Structure 1
Amino acid sequence: MSDAQQKVNVICIKWGDKYGSDYVNTLYSMVSRNLSLPHRFVCFTDEAEGIRSEVEVKPIPKIGFEDFDEKKPWAKAHGWLKLTCFANPLSDLTGPTLFLDLDIVIVGSLDDFFTPEGDFMVIKEWDKSDATGNTSVFRFEAGAHEDALDYLKADPEKATDPVRNEQEYITQFVDRQNRLKYWPEQWCRSFKRHCIRPFPLSFFQQPRIPNDARVIIFHGKPHPDDALAGRSGKWYRKVLPTRWIAEYWQ
C-alpha cells in the first residue's frame, strides 16, 4: 500500500464568491492543528486564486449532469454542488473521506471522526424529526455513493421535488439504503442552538463552547466573522462578541 493510500482524506468545496480563499486557508490551518492522522487536504473549486500552496487544489468534479457541470443557478444554491464529491472516481482519492464545510470552527480533535464504523456518518439535523442529517461534517468512502448521482441524473425533478436542499437529498437517500449513521451529538454543535446563551443571559455573557464539542457549526446567520464581532444577523438574536472564535478560527 502506498503512502497516499494510507492517508485519510479531508475535503472541502468552494464555488462562487460567497466564501473567499481565506476560508479555505483557515480551514486548512484548523485541520492541521486538530488532525494527527496522516492525511491529504483537498479543496475542489472553480477559483483557486489565493489558496495556500499546502492545499491540494482540484477542479469541481464533472459528473455528467449538465445542470451541475455548467453550474446553473439552482445547482449553486442550497449546497447542491456538494453532491459532486460523490463522483466515482473522486479525482485520485481513495478511502475514508471527511467533508467539512468552509464556515465551521474546529475546537477539538478530529481524529475520532475516522473511528466510528459506518458507510455514511453525518450530523443529526437538530430541527428535523426525520432522518435528515446536517452535511457540514460527514464521512464516506471516496467513490462509494455514485448511485445517489445516478438517481438524480435519471430524473432530476422526481429526485429533487420531495426535498429542500442537498443535505435532505443525500441523507434521506442513504437512509433508504439503511447506510446512514450519526456522529455522537456532542461532537458537532450549532453556534445558534448550543453556544448562544438563552435570553436574557445572551445580553450579559458571550456564547460558550459546549462540553466535548469538536466542531462548531455556523448555519445561516451569523457566520464566524459576524459572531466574533458580535453581529447576530437577526434583530431578535443577541450575540455578544465571541472572543474564543479568534483563538480557534485561524
Structure 2
Amino acid sequence: MITVATLFWQPNGASRNFSRCYSEEWVEKLYRGFRRNLTMPFRFVCFSDRPRRFAEPDIEQERIKAERPDYGTCIEPYRLGVPMILVGLDTVVTGNIDHLADYCLTGDRLALPRDPYKPAIACNGVGLVPAGHRDVAEQHRGENDMEWVRKFPHRFIDDLWPGHVVSFKGHVKRRGMADARIIYFHGLEKPHQLPHVDWIKEHWT
C-alpha cells in the first residue's frame, strides 16, 4: 500500500514567518485532496510534534523525534522505509495521481521535481519515494533537507511526467496550471492567501 506523508509542528524559533500559518485544517485539506485524486488504497500519515485532533479519522499520526523541529525534520518520514509520496502542508492536489503512486510502488530510486529556478538540480517540493530508502533518514545528521536528498540517486518528475508536479511561484503563477496534478508552494504566497483563485476554491477544500 502507498503511504502519503506530511509534517506539522508548532512554530518555533527556527520557523520562518511564511510557515507560521499552518493548522490542523491544512492537514485535513491535504488529506482530502489525496482522497479525491487517488483511486488506490493509501495511508495518510502526519508526522507531528504532539498528538493532534483531526476531523478526518483516517489521518494517522507519527511522533516527530526531533525535540525542536526545523526544516531538516522533513527527512524524518523516510525512516518509514515504505513506498511514499512525501509533501508539505502547502500542497494542493488538482488531478488524478495514480501514476505517481504507482511509481512509488514500482520504482527503484527517488523522483524529485526540478528546482523551478535552477532546473539542473532537484528540489524537495514533492518526493516520490519507493521502498527501501530508509537510509535517507538513518544517515541524516541535520543537514539541509533539500541539499541532503539531492545526494541520493534520483530521477526528475518533470522528465517522467512533464507539467504534472509544478511550483506555484515558479510555474503556475506565470503560466497557469495547465495539466498540473500536484501544485506545491514555497515561501510566499500560500493557498489561504489566494481565496479568489478558481482552482484553489475547487481543489483546496
Q: Shared fold by TM > 0.5?
A: yes
The answer as to whether partners of 1:189 and 1:215 remain within 8 angstroms in 2 is: yes
Pairing 1:69-148 to 2, within 5 Å after superposition = 69-71=66-68, 76=70, 79-87=71-79, 90=80, 95-116=82-103, 117-131=107-121, 133-142=122-131, 144-146=133-135, 148=136
User: Where does structure 1 lack aligned partners over 5 or more consecutive residues?
Assistant: 1-6, 63-68, 199-207, 229-240
* Residues 93-128 of structure 1 deviation map (CA, whole Å, 9 limit, x = unaligned): x63111121111111011110234331011111112
Question: Aligned AA for 2:194?
Answer: A
**Counterparts of 1:25 and 1:110 in 2: how far apart (Å)?**
18
Of 45, 48, 51 in structure 2, the residue corresponding to residue 45 of structure 1 is: 48
Q: TM-score, with normalisation over the residues of structure 1?
A: 0.69
Residue among 140, 162, 177 paired with 1:209: 177
- The sequence identity of aligned pairs, in percent, is 26
Aligned counterparts of 2:114 and 2:185: Cα–Cα separation in 1:
15
Give 1:47 shift: 3.2
Residue 10 (str. 1) matches residue 4 (str. 2): yes
For 2:164, the aligned partner's letter is W
Q: Match of 1:57, SS?
A: strand
Secondary structure, counterpart of 2:84 in structure 1: strand
Matched residue pairs, number?
A: 189
Between Structure 1 and Structure 2, whose CA radius of gyration is higher?
A: 1
CA RMSD of aligned residues (A): 2.1
Q: Which has the higher mean CA deviation after the structures are superposed, 134-143 or 31-40?
A: 134-143
Unaligned runs of at least 5 residues, structure 2: 12-19
8 Å contact 1:21–1:48 — kept in the other structure? no
| Secondary structure in 2 matching 1:167 | helix
Whole-angstrom CA distance in 2 between matches of 1:149 and 1:244: 35
Q: Which residue of 2 aligns with 1:196?
A: 173
Query: How far apart in 1 are the matches of 2:119 and 2:164?
Result: 19
Question: SS in structure 2 opposite 1:134?
Answer: coil
Q: What is the CA-CA distance between 1:24 and the residue it aligns to? A: 0.4
**1:83 Cα deviation from its structure 2 partner:** 1.0
The answer to whether 1:31 aligns with 2:34 is: yes
Query: For the residues of structure 1 that align with 2:98 and 2:186, how far apart are their CA atoms?
Result: 23
Shift of 1:213: 0.8
Does the 8 A contact of 1:86 with 1:143 survive in 2? Answer: no
Q: Which has the higher contact order (CA 8 A, sep 6+)?
A: 2
Residue from 219, 223, 228 that aligns with 2:186: 219
